[in-house]
Chains A and B, each alone.
Chain A
Amino acid sequence: MQGWRTGLWAAVALVLATAAWAGPPRRYEPISPIPLPAAQDPARVALGRQLFLDPILSRDGSVSCGSCHNLAMAGVDGLPHAIGIGGAEERVNTPTVYNAALNLAQFWDGRAASLKEQAGGPVTNPQEMGSRWPDVVARLEHSPYRAAFQRIDGGPPTRRRVEEALASFERTLLTVNSPFDRWLEGDDGAISPEAAQGYALFKSYGCGSCHQGANVGGNMFQRFGFYGNPFARAPRPVDLGRFNVTGREDDRYVFKVPSLRLAVLTPPYFHDGSVRDLATAIRLMGRYQLGRAIPDGDIALIIRFLDTLPGAMTADDDGAAP
């Protein structure tokens, strides 16, 4: 047991030592194409979609999931912080609902392990929909939804069934077939040479170490601020990130790495929505995460690359908030 691990370490050390002197190692592409959604019951997806857009879930009937996760606006609200019922303001920036199914966990601090778990969160959050589950279920009981649940789940609406329907719908929100994905699959003409150059820079600066996978992020947690303090003021509770979930010192200032798939469409940036434009966000990431100053020219090229990441937004018809 101990033996093979020592051996492994020796091998790893050898590889790294070689790497240190032989220039950058051969790298696999850190980004992969977005897969097609898994097959699901279309009726349940439709029900989930209906619920997603219906303010019936909120306490006073003023807010739906779609109010903040505006499907026509790349699944976000475009605001630094979400506005919930009665104008209550959330403390964090709304992440897009698109491609959320690919994330390893939901929320900035990853406190929900799955979409199903997440879907219920905002319903009872006083800053968001401010409801209580028994009330929501009672409202659904006395609505046409009852028949739909009966048909699909063979029973009356329950919290679990509502969450499952919402999650089913959200699992279909994958932005497939982006230019970059086509390029990854061998279509050299799918992106411009500048975008390809931007991608190379993205990788060589090390952005791709964390923003990787199908969702260009979302599959790991990372500390915010290796080089210097990125927080403008003294850290607020929301700045503690995953520490709020695990209570481990190690998780202080650790956040879920956000997806860059729709980054060009979803300003403002960072967990607190404190940065309005993408170039600034990239510059700050370079400074705090990589300890490097990225020249404006490189930033521009990287943005060209990011432009190729969004794919088809399947639910873009009637997604406006009521």
Chain B
Amino acid sequence: MMRGYRLPFGLLFLAVLAAMLLASRLALRSGDDASQHTRTIATFDAIARAETDLDRDVLLVAASELPNYDPFVTHGRALEAALDGVEGQVLALGAADSAAAWRQYSVLMARKLSLADRIKRTAAFANNEEAYLPAALDAYAAHGDPVITRALRRVLVLALTVKLPDDLMARLERGLPAATGGGEAAALAQHTRMLAGQRLRLRDAVDAYFQVPSHARMAMARTLYMNAYAARQDSRRRLLKGLILAAGGLLPLLAGLLLLLLRAERQNRHALERLRKLGTAVEQSPIAIMITDADGAIEYVNPQFETITGYAFAEARGKNPRLLKSGRTDPAQFRALWATIRSGMTWQGELINRRKDGTELIEQAVISPIADASGRITHYVGMKQDVTQLRRQEDLLSSVHVDLEQLLFATCHDLQEPARQIATMAQLLEHAVPEGLPEEARFALQAILTESAQLRIFVAGLSEFARAGHSRHAFTDVDLNTLLTALVRDLAGDEEYISLAALPVVPGDPAQLFILFDTLLSNALKFRSPERPLAIAVGACREGDLWRFDIEDNGIGIEARYLPTLIRPFSRLHPRTRYPGSGLGLITALRIARQHNGTLSIRSVPGQGTTVQVWLQGR
């Protein structure tokens, strides 16, 4: 028993050793980081200092207080040198955000330096003019035009002291001499204009320089770095602490492990006990059970599975259930099966498989996925019942049914001929017998005529009923427009009391559908009201997968209490003599509708009309 613990003990010991090593390495790394951090902060300070120096240089230049521009060069180089390394330093401590901020800062500083260049040259020029112009003006005033002198002075003072709106400046400049007023005045005017222009540019450049948000960006870059460094130190400290704790907790942990292992052992025993019970249930289940992993490889099958498929557990293990495939199950069904269970749901259905001996195995199967705690599917469980025998019996039943129908159909067919013969012969007889026939004989003859006609109708109805029970034809697309137009022409000729809406194309048996609509329209014709002209409307509308057809008439109608009886075989509401028929019309129509995955219902108001609604499967 103790041998089982040797490995975890060894592992734990190694883990503690590793933790101690890692801790010492971390401590060293932390020291490296700290010195790197100090260097980085020094770089930040150097950058800040260089920028402050540059800012001061710019202010001094703007105030004409910088004797020469050498400090710019020095400070610019200091900035460049410090900026050169900052990104790498910051990245070395994992502060990518800060590196990006420093990159943006560099862009801003490039802008500031370029503005500083402009400030330097504009200021240099303006300083010259400011030194020269007042003296030059004084010299001109001594002998020149006083009006021009005044204009020049005014522009000069305004240009030097206040920032004038552009239009005012333009108006003042118009007062200056252009080319007229002598060479000296014109030159002075040009100098004044140049000065005013350069002063304006200088102010704009200084404004723009101090509007560059480089300080804010630097503060941000610093903060981002500080945060990143603090987080790094924090996590490292935590890690270090954790490692030391882990290393320090060697003995209690080892003891704890021992206890845990003992308890786990005990729990395992309980779990095994429970599993054994479940296992027994599974083993003895009358339902075949198959468990596969997520990839479909068989992990377990129970004895019932072995019995119905003929494959032993050892043979099936590791194989794919494809093993059982017969090729007779529709591939689409397999696709649906996998789609269902992969999405975590249970699939139920029938599969046609093959046993080991090659015989067919029809299974009623329930297949479910098993997910682990995270929702990932780890296994599939299939529970199957062998329904091969059941299906065979059903087939047998169905073939008996077909035989019966065929018998019925044959019978009808055979009966039709004698019935027709009787009717024909009775008519012949009626014409052939002399006038002086006794009254009873005449009555009997008349009865034969009537009953034989009824017999023909009845046999015809029976034959249609037999046909409606089982579709002999594969469904094809039936254009009901064509079908009903022909039918209406047959029934009504040129009279236009039947109106047809636009009708769809539905899948079906054309012969059966003909019988269906023939029956319904004939009924409407038959049960017309003597009080008003007949009107029949056939409409169609889509209802989900189905088409609903309304055959609406304004005939005599049916009383509500009779409605349920209408679709029983041989039910008649009216005496045969008044409305001849087989009594099989509606039940045949219903059977046909059902054959087409639909149904039929009747609504009626006595004395006003009847609406028959037929649903047929759509495309």
Residues of A within 8 A of B (CB): 5, 8-9, 11-13, 15-17, 19-21, 23-25, 27-32, 102-104, 113-114, 204-206, 209-210, 212-214, 219-223, 226-227, 246, 248, 250, 254, 290-292
Contacts and interface: CB of A to CB of B under 8 A. Distances in A.
Interface in B53-78: 59, 62-64, 67-70, 72-73, 76-77
B114 interface: yes
Contacts of B194: 226-227, 291
Contacts of A212: 67-70
Given A5-B210, A102-B73, A291-B190, A17 B161 contact: yes
Given A206-B132, A221-B117, A246-B114, A15 B63 contact: yes
B117 A12 contact: no
Contacts of A29: 67
Interface in B176-196: 187, 190-191, 194
Interface stretch (B12-20, B123-131, B300-308, B402-410): B123-131
A13 B162 contact: yes
Contacts of B203: 9
Contacts of A246: 114
A209 B62 CA distance: 13
B161 A16 contact: yes
Interface of B: 59, 62-64, 67-70, 72-73, 76-77, 80, 114, 117-118, 120-121, 124-125, 127-135, 156-157, 160-162, 187, 190-191, 194, 203, 207, 210
A220 B71 CA distance: 11
Contacts of A27: 67
Contacts of A21: 134
Contacts of B190: 227, 291
A248 B70 CA distance: 24
B75 to A, nearest CB: 11
Contacts of B134: 19-21, 23
Contacts of A219: 68-70, 72-73
Contacts of B62: 8, 12
B187 A254 contact: no
A25 B64 contact: yes
Contacts of B210: 5
Contact of B76 (A31, A102, A104, A206): A104
9 contacts: A9-B203, A104-B72, A206-B128, A209-B124, A209-B125, A221-B117, A250-B118, A291-B187, A292-B132
A20 B72 contact: no
B125 A113 contact: no
A73 B613 CA distance: 116
B114 A31 contact: no
B135 A209 contact: no
Contact of A214 (B63, B70, B114, B124): B70
A210 B161 contact: no
A220 B128 contact: no
Contacts of B70: 32, 102, 212-214, 219
Contacts of B160: 13, 16-17, 20
Given A214-B70, A226-B125, 4 more contacts: A15-B64, A114-B77, A206-B132, A250-B118
4 tightest CB-CB pairs across the interface, nearest first?
A28-B67, A206-B128, A213-B70, A212-B68
Nearest to A242: B117
Given A27-B67, A291-B187, A17 B128 contact: no
Contacts of B128: 205-206, 209, 290
Contacts of A222: 121, 124-125
A5 B207 CA distance: 9
Main secondary structure of the interface of B (DSSP, over half): helix
B64 A16 contact: yes
A291 B80 CA distance: 36
B344 to A, nearest CB: 62
Contacts of A30: 67-68
B72 to A, nearest CB: 7
B335 to A, nearest CB: 62
Contact of B131 (A12, A206, A226): A206
A20 B64 contact: no
A82 B410 CA distance: 120
A45 to B, nearest CB: 20
A25 B131 contact: yes
A219 B78 CA distance: 15
B135 A104 contact: no
Nearest to A203: B131
A213 B131 contact: no
Contact of A23 (B72, B76, B135, B156): B135
A8 B56 CA distance: 12
Nearest to A19: B130
A205 B128 CA distance: 7
A290 B128 CA distance: 8
A291 B191 contact: yes
Nearest to A29: B67
A9 B160 CA distance: 11
B50 to A, nearest CB: 14
A300 to B, nearest CB: 21
A242 to B, nearest CB: 9
A5 B55 CA distance: 13
Given A16-B161, A30-B67, A290-B128, A220 B135 contact: no
Nearest to A27: B67
Contacts of B125: 209, 222, 226
B69 A113 contact: no
A113 B80 contact: yes
Contacts of A209: 124-125, 127-128
A17 B157 contact: yes
A17 to B, nearest CB: 5
A321 B105 CA distance: 46
B161 A13 contact: yes
A8 B203 CA distance: 12
A213 B70 CA distance: 5
A134 to B, nearest CB: 25
A24 B135 CA distance: 8
Residue of B117, B134, B135, B210 with most chain A CB atoms under a 10 A cut-off:
B117
A220 B121 contact: yes
A220 B157 contact: no
B377 to A, nearest CB: 59
Contacts of A226: 125, 194
A220 B72 contact: yes
A221 B67 contact: no
A290 B64 CA distance: 18
A17 B158 CA distance: 9
A11 B161 CA distance: 10
B419 to A, nearest CB: 109
Contacts of B68: 28, 30-32, 212-213, 219
Nearest to B66: A28
A6 to B, nearest CB: 11
Contacts of A227: 190, 194
Contacts of B207: 5
B131 A210 contact: no
B514 to A, nearest CB: 86
Contacts of A19: 64, 130-131, 134
A8 B63 CA distance: 9
Nearest to A13: B161
Contacts of A103: 73
A19 B131 CA distance: 8
Nearest to A113: B80
Nearest to B128: A206
Contacts of B135: 23-24
A15 B64 CA distance: 9
A3 B291 CA distance: 82
A209 B129 CA distance: 10
Nearest to B187: A291
A223 B121 contact: yes
A226 B129 CA distance: 12
A100 B62 CA distance: 27
Nearest to A103: B73
Nearest to A5: B210
A29 B72 CA distance: 16
